[in-house]
């Protein structure tokens, strides 16, 4: 059996999304900046996609800028806000995705900003009292706190964070890559000036995403070149990627309720089966349905002689999982997220992440293989 449990890294492309993209790949090949009929036809497709994304997020098309993915969108939101609004202080957490964390570190190293890190509890939730203290002490800050963590799945209440940021006159950016397409984002109700999405996290194509810039904020050009993306991002648009993104998000919203129910059942079953069969197993982050991303489960296994080879052992048994963020694979420093929540460094954390295409049978197969590897006496 082949099992793909690394959907937080990327998801399989939905066949209906591919069908939506095909005409843009094969037949509708005009440059959308061209004024002739071939170009106008393609331009119409981009603007329809922009309207569709805006409609689903309950905002206006002028606030949606297409990018190459979540990393570019996060970088843009942070760097352009610092420049446009003369921001001197950023409030963030130690467990942000590297697209945020490394960007903040670089700005600090360049002497452009100072950074404060909000205290977290053992599950990765933001300490709201500490956040308020930091906001009181640092007016005109940029708050950059993710919606749900990509490694442990813990969800932050970005409505509450946004309201607090607004109260103290701060700008709020949230990395919503892991929750986009999995939860409803009503931008008219959310006090968050910048959110981001990446199509390949919700069964769309790789290499395309978007940045939402609230109309109350003005940022400058973030890629020099032509006048694409309303003079903000030069370069010929990834047309079939943009069309695919909009279709994938439309499907995600249409299927959201059934998708959540199915995927949560997989996560719940894996938690139950692991507890039943592997003594001493623990879970990193919040695993409650209310406080965690239903697509992500980070498992901490007891120290064992096979721990160091666990991912490899799973791989040779046809199971794809992750030690953390795909952007960190191959690094030897350990997970900055697990370090940030002070997880036991002697216990290996494995991230299993699920999608609508996974099954109960795959969960059971994976748990059985883990038992064979870690508790061989139980199957001897």
**CA angle 176–151–248, rounded 5-degree value:** 45
298: CB partners within 8 A, 6+ apart: 151, 152, 153, 283, 284, 285, 338, 349, 350, 351, 352
- Per residue of the chain (380 residues), give pLDDT as tens: 999 999 999 999 999 999 999 999 999 999 999 999 999 999 999 999 999 999 999 999 999 999 999 999 999 999 999 999 999 999 999 999 999 999 999 999 999 999 999 999 999 999 999 999 999 999 889 999 999 999 999 999 999 999 999 999 999 999 999 999 999 999 999 999 999 999 999 999 999 999 999 999 988 888 999 999 988 999 999 999 999 999 999 999 999 999 999 999 999 999 999 999 999 999 999 999 999 999 999 999 988 766 668 999 999 999 999 985 445 444 456 799 999 998 888 787 899 999 999 999 999 999 999 999 998 766 54
Assess whether 201 and 266 both reside in one domain: no
Positions marked active-site: 327
Judgement on whether residues 55 and 188 belong to the same structural domain of the protein: yes
Partners of 155 in the beta sheet?
148
pLDDT at 325: 46
Given 251, 281, 307, the domain boundary residue is 251
CATH number at residue 264: 3.90.1150.10
Are 209 and 239 in a shared domain?
yes
236 and 366 share one domain? no
Contact 367, 4 (CB under 8 A): no
The CATH number assigned to the domain holding 166 equals 3.40.640.10
236 and 277, same domain (yes or no): no
CA quadruple 311, 315, 304, 281: dihedral positive or negative? positive
DSSP 98: H
What's the DSSP call for residue 69? S
What 3-state class would DSSP assign to 144?
Answer: strand
Question: Which tokens in the block code for residue 170?
Answer: 């701060």
C-alpha span between 54 and 63 (Å, rounded): 8
Same structural domain, 64 and 185:
yes
Domain with 272 in it = 3-10+256-378
pLDDT at position 331 is 46
Cα dihedral sign, 180-339-122-165:
negative
- Identify whether residues 49 and 126 lie together within a single domain: yes
pTM of the model: 0.94
- The backbone torsions φ and ψ at residue 180, rounded to the nearest 5 degrees and listed phi first, read -65, 130
Write the DSSP assignment of 271-321 as a string of letters.
Answer: HHHHHHHSTT-EEES--STTTB-TTEEEEEPPP-TTGGGHHHHHHHTTEE-
State which of 223, 251, 279 marks the end of a domain: 251
For residues 203 and 160, state if they share a domain.
yes
Give the DSSP H/E element, type plus range, for residue 20: helix 15-26
113, 88 Cβ separation under 8 angstroms: yes
Q: Cα dist. 291→112, 156, 194, 287, 360 in Å?
A: 35, 8, 22, 7, 23
107 and 183 housed in the same domain: yes
The half-sphere exposure of 340 on its side-chain side, counting CA atoms within 13 A, is: 23
Listed residues 251, 276, 304: the one ending a domain: 251
Beta pairing, strands 209-213 & 64-67: antiparallel
Residue 173 and residue 144 in contact, taking contact as beta carbons nearer than 8 Å: yes
**Residues 219 and 80: beta-carbon distance below 8 Å:** yes
Is there a single domain that holds both residue 247 and residue 260?
no
What is the reported pLDDT for 327?
Answer: 52
Distance CA 371, CA 323 (A): 18
Same domain, 260 and 347: yes
The secondary structure of 104-133 as a DSSP string is HHHHHHTTS-EEEE--B-TTS-B-HHHHHH
Measured at the CA of 12, the angle between CA 8 and CA 15, to 5 degrees, comes to: 150
Residues 165, 312, single domain; the answer is no
Number of structural domains (the chain) is 2
């Amino acid at each position: 059996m082949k099992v793909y449990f690394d959907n937080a890294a990327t998801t399989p492309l939905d066949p209906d999304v591919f069908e939506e993209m095909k005409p843009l790949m094969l037949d509708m090949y005009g440059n959308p900046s061209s004024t002739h009929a071939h170009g106008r036809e393609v331009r119409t497709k981009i603007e329809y996609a922009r309207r569709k994304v805006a409609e689903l997020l309950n905002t206006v098309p002028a606030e949606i800028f297409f990018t190459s993915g979540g990393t570019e969108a996060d970088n843009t939101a942070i760097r352009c806000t610092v420049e446009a609004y003369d921001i001197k202080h950023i409030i963030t957490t130690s467990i942000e995705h590297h697209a945020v964390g490394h960007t903040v570190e670089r700005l600090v190293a360049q002497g452009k900003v100072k950074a404060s890190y909000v205290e977290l509890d053992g599950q990765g939730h933001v300490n709201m009292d500490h956040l308020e203290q930091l906001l009181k002490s640092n007016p005109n800050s940029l708050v950059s706190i993710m919606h749900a963590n990509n490694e442990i799945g813990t969800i932050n209440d970005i409505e509450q964070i946004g309201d607090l940021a607004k109260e103290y006159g701060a700008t709020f950016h949230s990395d919503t890559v892991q929750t986009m397409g999995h939860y409803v984002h009503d931008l008219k109700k959310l006090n968050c000036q910048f959110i981001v999405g990446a199509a390949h996290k919700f069964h769309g194509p790789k290499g395309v995403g978007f940045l939402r810039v609230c109309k109350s904020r003005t940022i400058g050009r973030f890629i020099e070149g032509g006048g694409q993306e309303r003079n903000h991002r030069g370069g010929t648009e990834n047309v079939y990627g943009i069309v695919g993104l909009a279709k994938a998000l439309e499907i995600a919203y249409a299927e959201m309720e059934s998708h959540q129910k199915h995927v949560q059942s997989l996560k719940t079953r894996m938690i139950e089966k692991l507890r039943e069969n592997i003594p001493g197993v623990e879970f990193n982050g919040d695993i409650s349905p209310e406080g965690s991303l239903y697509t992500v489960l980070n498992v901490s296994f007891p120290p064992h002689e096979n721990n160091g080879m666990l991912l490899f052992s799973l791989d040779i048994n046809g199971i794809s999982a992750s030690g953390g963020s795909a952007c960190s694979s191959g690094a030897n420093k350990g997970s900055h997220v697990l370090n940030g929540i002070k997880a036991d460094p002697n216990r290996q954390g494995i991230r299993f992440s699920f999608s609508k295409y996974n099954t109960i049978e795959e969960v059971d197969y994976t748990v059985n293989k883990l038992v064979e590897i870690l508790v061989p006496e139980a199957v001897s």
